[in-house]
Amino acid sequence: MNAASSEEGLRARVLALVAQIPPGRVMTYGQLATLAGQPGAARQVGYVMNGLMDTGSAHSPGLPWQRVINAQGKVSTDKLGFGDLQRGLLRAEGVEFDASGKCDLGRLQWWPEEAATGQERLL
């Protein structure tokens, strides 16, 4: 497999996972990388998500891009000019942020097996 097809495979797997995140829940870049079969590739997941912003498709109602945040429980899109938008979309779904801009990952982080079992994952 060449690098381009590997990147496209990662992109497809990441977008498939993002599409499943339910309202009011979040996943992290690193979590998505691990579940997409490339542990340690959080930065590459960030590039995938950033690519959505560049094409304008981030505003597509079909892909909940706003539900992807960093491992600190914060949005990473402030430097791209989308931070307020992302926080606003998440707040509209019931996600609360503290004064430092963090949400409660222990409570809000979503794992795909929750959808299959109907139970929340215990951390």
pLDDT band at 2 (very low <50, low <70, confident <90, very high): low
Q: How far apart are CA 3 and CA 29, in angstroms?
A: 20
Please check the confidence at residue 119 and state whether its pLDDT lies above 60: no
CA distances from 44 to 16, 23, 71, 120 (A): 15, 24, 14, 27
pTM: 0.84
pLDDT of 42-73, one tens digit each?
999 999 998 876 555 545 556 899 999 999 99
Rounded to the nearest integer, the mean pLDDT of the chain is 87
Mean pLDDT of 104-111: 97
CATH number corresponding to 3-109: 1.10.10.10
